[in-house]
Protein backbone atom coordinates (compact mmCIF):
# COMPACT_ATOMS: atom_id res chain seq x y z
CA UNK A 1 0.00 0.00 0.00
CA UNK A 2 1.31 3.47 -0.83
CA UNK A 3 0.19 6.95 0.13
CA UNK A 4 -0.74 9.29 -2.68
CA UNK A 5 -1.46 13.01 -2.36
CA UNK A 6 -4.29 14.45 -4.46
CA UNK A 7 -4.95 18.18 -4.58
CA UNK A 8 -6.70 18.12 -1.20
CA UNK A 9 -6.52 14.75 0.50
CA UNK A 10 -4.09 11.92 1.10
CA UNK A 11 -5.35 8.64 -0.31
CA UNK A 12 -4.18 5.30 1.01
CA UNK A 13 -3.62 3.70 -2.34
CA UNK A 14 -4.14 -0.07 -2.31
CA UNK A 15 -3.49 -0.37 -6.05
CA UNK A 16 -0.91 -3.11 -6.56
CA UNK A 17 -1.15 -4.20 -2.89
CA UNK A 18 -2.48 -7.70 -2.23
CA UNK A 19 -4.53 -6.79 0.84
CA UNK A 20 -6.45 -10.10 0.69
CA UNK A 21 -3.33 -12.25 0.85
CA UNK A 22 -1.02 -10.12 2.98
CA UNK A 23 -3.44 -8.74 5.57
CA UNK A 24 -5.95 -11.58 5.84
CA UNK A 25 -4.77 -14.90 4.42
CA UNK A 26 -1.12 -14.78 5.54
CA UNK A 27 -1.93 -13.38 8.99
CA UNK A 28 -3.68 -14.82 12.01
CA UNK A 29 -6.85 -12.71 11.73
CA UNK A 30 -9.65 -15.30 11.67
CA UNK A 31 -10.94 -13.93 15.00
CA UNK A 32 -11.08 -10.33 13.70
CA UNK A 33 -12.80 -11.48 10.49
CA UNK A 34 -15.44 -13.41 12.48
CA UNK A 35 -15.93 -10.47 14.87
CA UNK A 36 -16.67 -8.16 11.91
CA UNK A 37 -19.08 -10.66 10.38
CA UNK A 38 -21.13 -11.23 13.52
CA UNK A 39 -21.50 -7.46 14.03
CA UNK A 40 -22.64 -6.98 10.45
CA UNK A 41 -25.21 -9.79 10.81
CA UNK A 42 -26.62 -8.04 13.87
CA UNK A 43 -26.82 -4.58 12.30
CA UNK A 44 -27.49 -4.78 8.56
CA UNK A 45 -31.13 -4.88 7.38
CA UNK A 46 -32.23 -8.38 6.42
CA UNK A 47 -33.71 -7.18 3.12
CA UNK A 48 -32.27 -4.36 1.04
CA UNK A 49 -32.96 -3.02 -2.45
CA UNK A 50 -29.84 -1.09 -3.38
CA UNK A 51 -26.78 -1.57 -1.15
CA UNK A 52 -23.19 -0.27 -1.33
CA UNK A 53 -20.09 -1.47 0.53
CA UNK A 54 -18.02 1.74 0.81
CA UNK A 55 -14.23 1.21 0.74
CA UNK A 56 -15.23 -2.43 0.45
CA UNK A 57 -11.84 -3.56 -0.88
CA UNK A 58 -11.92 -6.98 -2.54
CA UNK A 59 -15.37 -7.73 -1.12
CA UNK A 60 -14.10 -9.66 1.90
CA UNK A 61 -17.52 -9.28 3.51
CA UNK A 62 -19.67 -9.59 0.38
CA UNK A 63 -21.06 -12.97 1.40
CA UNK A 64 -22.65 -11.18 4.38
CA UNK A 65 -24.80 -8.96 2.14
CA UNK A 66 -25.23 -10.22 -1.44
CA UNK A 67 -28.13 -12.48 -0.41
CA UNK A 68 -29.82 -9.63 1.52
CA UNK A 69 -29.81 -7.05 -1.30
CA UNK A 70 -31.37 -6.96 -4.77
CA UNK A 71 -28.36 -4.98 -5.99
CA UNK A 72 -24.95 -4.86 -4.26
CA UNK A 73 -22.06 -2.58 -5.23
CA UNK A 74 -18.51 -2.57 -3.90
CA UNK A 75 -17.05 0.94 -4.02
CA UNK A 76 -13.31 1.48 -3.57
CA UNK A 77 -10.45 3.66 -4.73
CA UNK A 78 -8.30 0.66 -5.66
CA UNK A 79 -8.88 -1.00 -9.01
CA UNK A 80 -6.73 -3.93 -7.82
CA UNK A 81 -9.25 -4.55 -5.03
CA UNK A 82 -12.27 -4.16 -7.29
CA UNK A 83 -10.83 -6.54 -9.88
CA UNK A 84 -10.41 -9.19 -7.18
CA UNK A 85 -14.00 -8.57 -6.01
CA UNK A 86 -15.27 -9.16 -9.54
CA UNK A 87 -13.17 -12.34 -9.82
CA UNK A 88 -14.65 -13.61 -6.56
CA UNK A 89 -18.31 -12.68 -7.02
CA UNK A 90 -18.84 -12.15 -10.77
CA UNK A 91 -22.38 -10.98 -11.62
CA UNK A 92 -23.44 -11.02 -7.98
CA UNK A 93 -21.79 -7.67 -7.38
CA UNK A 94 -21.26 -4.39 -9.21
CA UNK A 95 -18.06 -2.44 -8.67
CA UNK A 96 -17.39 1.28 -8.81
CA UNK A 97 -14.07 3.08 -8.43
CA UNK A 98 -13.67 6.54 -6.96
CA UNK A 99 -12.69 8.65 -3.99
CA UNK A 100 -14.74 8.68 -0.81
CA UNK A 101 -14.51 12.46 -0.52
CA UNK A 102 -16.71 12.86 -3.61
CA UNK A 103 -18.71 9.69 -4.06
CA UNK A 104 -19.71 9.01 -7.68
CA UNK A 105 -23.32 8.34 -6.65
CA UNK A 106 -26.53 10.36 -6.76
CA UNK A 107 -28.23 11.85 -3.71
CA UNK A 108 -30.56 9.31 -1.98
CA UNK A 109 -29.34 6.47 -4.21
CA UNK A 110 -29.04 3.65 -1.63
CA UNK A 111 -31.33 2.26 1.02
CA UNK A 112 -28.35 0.84 2.95
CA UNK A 113 -24.57 1.01 3.05
CA UNK A 114 -21.70 -0.14 5.19
CA UNK A 115 -18.12 1.02 5.66
CA UNK A 116 -15.81 -1.32 7.58
CA UNK A 117 -12.14 -0.88 8.53
CA UNK A 118 -11.74 2.31 6.56
CA UNK A 119 -12.04 5.29 8.96
CA UNK A 120 -8.36 5.00 9.96
CA UNK A 121 -7.50 6.17 6.42
CA UNK A 122 -9.69 9.28 6.55
CA UNK A 123 -8.47 12.56 7.98
CA UNK A 124 -11.67 14.51 7.33
CA UNK A 125 -14.39 12.35 8.83
CA UNK A 126 -16.98 15.14 8.68
CA UNK A 127 -16.66 15.25 4.91
CA UNK A 128 -16.84 11.44 4.72
CA UNK A 129 -19.89 11.28 6.99
CA UNK A 130 -21.64 14.03 4.97
CA UNK A 131 -20.99 12.09 1.75
CA UNK A 132 -22.38 8.86 3.22
CA UNK A 133 -25.45 10.74 4.41
CA UNK A 134 -25.97 12.33 1.00
CA UNK A 135 -26.08 9.04 -0.95
CA UNK A 136 -28.52 7.38 1.49
CA UNK A 137 -32.29 7.60 1.10
CA UNK A 138 -34.25 9.13 3.99
CA UNK A 139 -34.79 6.26 6.43
CA UNK A 140 -31.74 4.48 4.97
CA UNK A 141 -29.28 2.60 7.17
CA UNK A 142 -25.50 3.04 7.41
CA UNK A 143 -23.40 0.48 9.28
CA UNK A 144 -20.05 2.10 10.02
CA UNK A 145 -17.04 0.70 11.83
CA UNK A 146 -14.85 3.29 13.54
CA UNK A 147 -11.23 2.82 14.61
CA UNK A 148 -11.42 3.72 18.30
CA UNK A 149 -8.90 5.91 20.06
CA UNK A 150 -10.21 5.20 23.58
CA UNK A 151 -9.17 1.54 23.93
CA UNK A 152 -8.22 -0.28 27.12
CA UNK A 153 -4.60 -1.08 26.04
CA UNK A 154 -4.12 2.57 25.11
CA UNK A 155 -5.35 3.65 28.53
CA UNK A 156 -2.82 1.36 30.20
CA UNK A 157 -0.03 2.71 27.97
CA UNK A 158 -1.06 6.27 28.81
CA UNK A 159 -1.25 5.65 32.58
CA UNK A 160 2.15 3.90 32.56
CA UNK A 161 3.58 6.82 30.53
CA UNK A 162 4.42 4.67 27.49
CA UNK A 163 2.55 7.01 25.16
CA UNK A 164 1.66 10.69 25.03
CA UNK A 165 -1.65 9.95 23.32
CA UNK A 166 -4.37 10.69 25.83
CA UNK A 167 -7.22 8.28 25.02
CA UNK A 168 -9.69 10.43 26.99
CA UNK A 169 -9.02 13.53 24.92
CA UNK A 170 -11.55 13.94 22.10
CA UNK A 171 -8.99 15.14 19.53
CA UNK A 172 -8.07 12.84 16.62
CA UNK A 173 -5.07 10.53 17.16
CA UNK A 174 -2.84 10.51 14.09
CA UNK A 175 -0.56 7.49 14.44
CA UNK A 176 2.21 8.48 12.04
CA UNK A 177 4.41 5.65 13.37
CA UNK A 178 2.04 3.24 11.55
CA UNK A 179 1.81 5.30 8.36
CA UNK A 180 3.80 8.47 7.77
CA UNK A 181 0.86 10.22 6.09
CA UNK A 182 -1.55 9.34 8.85
CA UNK A 183 -3.45 6.54 10.50
CA UNK A 184 -6.40 8.05 12.28
CA UNK A 185 -8.13 6.83 15.42
CA UNK A 186 -11.24 8.54 16.70
CA UNK A 187 -12.69 9.14 20.13
CA UNK A 188 -16.32 7.86 20.21
CA UNK A 189 -17.65 11.24 21.38
CA UNK A 190 -15.85 13.05 18.56
CA UNK A 191 -17.21 10.71 15.89
CA UNK A 192 -20.72 10.69 17.35
CA UNK A 193 -20.80 14.50 17.13
CA UNK A 194 -19.75 14.24 13.49
CA UNK A 195 -22.51 11.73 12.70
CA UNK A 196 -25.08 13.98 14.42
CA UNK A 197 -23.84 17.02 12.50
CA UNK A 198 -24.38 15.16 9.21
CA UNK A 199 -27.96 14.42 10.33
CA UNK A 200 -27.61 10.75 11.31
CA UNK A 201 -29.40 9.22 14.28
CA UNK A 202 -27.59 6.43 16.16
CA UNK A 203 -29.86 3.39 16.37
CA UNK A 204 -27.46 0.82 17.81
CA UNK A 205 -23.82 0.52 18.90
CA UNK A 206 -21.67 -2.61 19.21
CA UNK A 207 -18.24 -3.11 20.75
CA UNK A 208 -16.24 -5.22 18.30
CA UNK A 209 -12.91 -7.11 18.30
CA UNK A 210 -12.94 -6.87 22.09
CA UNK A 211 -10.27 -9.57 22.47
CA UNK A 212 -7.92 -8.48 19.66
CA UNK A 213 -4.66 -9.61 21.22
CA UNK A 214 -1.98 -12.08 20.18
CA UNK A 215 -1.67 -13.28 23.78
CA UNK A 216 -5.40 -13.96 24.15
CA UNK A 217 -5.41 -15.82 20.83
CA UNK A 218 -2.59 -18.06 22.10
CA UNK A 219 -4.24 -18.58 25.49
CA UNK A 220 -7.83 -19.30 24.40
CA UNK A 221 -7.69 -20.05 20.67
CA UNK A 222 -9.83 -18.44 17.97
CA UNK A 223 -12.94 -20.59 18.52
CA UNK A 224 -13.33 -19.68 22.19
CA UNK A 225 -12.55 -16.01 21.56
CA UNK A 226 -15.21 -15.85 18.84
CA UNK A 227 -17.78 -17.26 21.30
CA UNK A 228 -16.78 -14.72 23.96
CA UNK A 229 -16.86 -11.96 21.34
CA UNK A 230 -20.43 -12.82 20.40
CA UNK A 231 -21.53 -12.50 24.02
CA UNK A 232 -19.57 -9.28 24.63
CA UNK A 233 -20.47 -7.11 21.63
CA UNK A 234 -23.77 -5.72 22.91
CA UNK A 235 -23.10 -5.43 26.68
CA UNK A 236 -19.67 -3.78 26.23
CA UNK A 237 -21.02 -1.20 23.79
CA UNK A 238 -21.83 1.25 26.59
CA UNK A 239 -18.15 1.55 27.62
CA UNK A 240 -16.80 1.92 24.05
CA UNK A 241 -13.34 0.48 24.95
CA UNK A 242 -12.87 -1.92 22.00
CA UNK A 243 -10.62 -1.15 19.01
CA UNK A 244 -13.64 -1.25 16.68
CA UNK A 245 -16.91 0.49 17.46
CA UNK A 246 -19.77 -0.38 15.12
CA UNK A 247 -22.59 2.11 14.59
CA UNK A 248 -25.97 1.48 13.02
CA UNK A 249 -27.02 4.94 11.82
CA UNK A 250 -30.29 6.00 10.27
CA UNK A 251 -30.81 8.97 7.94
Ligand X SMILES: C[S@@+](CC[C@H](N)C(=O)[O-])C[C@H]1O[C@@H](n2cnc3c(N)ncnc32)[C@H](O)[C@@H]1O
The binder of ligand X chosen from 62, 93, 118, 142 (CB under 6 A):
118
| Cβ proximity of 120 and 147 under 8 Å | yes
| Cβ proximity of 56 and 88 under 8 Å | no
78 part of the interface to ligand X, by CB under 6 A: yes
Query: Cα–Cα distance between 245 and 187 in angstroms, integer?
Result: 10
Site string for ligand X, 90-109 (x = CB under 6 A): ---------xx---------
Helix (H, G, I), strand (E, B) or coil at 22: helix
| Cβ proximity of 56 and 75 under 8 Å | yes
Site string for ligand X, 6-25 (x = CB under 6 A): -----xx-x-----------
The binder of ligand X chosen from 44, 48, 56, 173 (CB under 6 A):
56
166-to-172, 184, 232, 245 alpha-carbon distances in Å: 10, 14, 25, 18
- The DSSP output letter for 150 is S
77 part of the interface to ligand X, by CB under 6 A: yes
Nearer to ligand X, 69 or 118 (CB): 118
Nearer to ligand X, 164 or 177 (CB): 177
Number of amino acids touching ligand X (CB under 6 A) = 18
Query: Cα–Cα distance between 19 and 144 in angstroms, integer?
Result: 20
Q: Which residues bind ligand X (CB under 6 A)?
A: 11-12, 14, 55-57, 60-61, 76-78, 81, 99-100, 116-118, 121
Amino acid sequence: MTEKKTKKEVISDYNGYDYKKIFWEDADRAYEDQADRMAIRKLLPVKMENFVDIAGGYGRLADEYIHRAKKSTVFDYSKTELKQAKELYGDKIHTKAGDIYSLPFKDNEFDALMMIRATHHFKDMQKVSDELYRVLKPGGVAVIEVANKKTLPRMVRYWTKKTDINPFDKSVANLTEISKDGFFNYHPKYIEEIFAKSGFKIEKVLSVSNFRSGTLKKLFGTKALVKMENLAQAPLASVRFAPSIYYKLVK
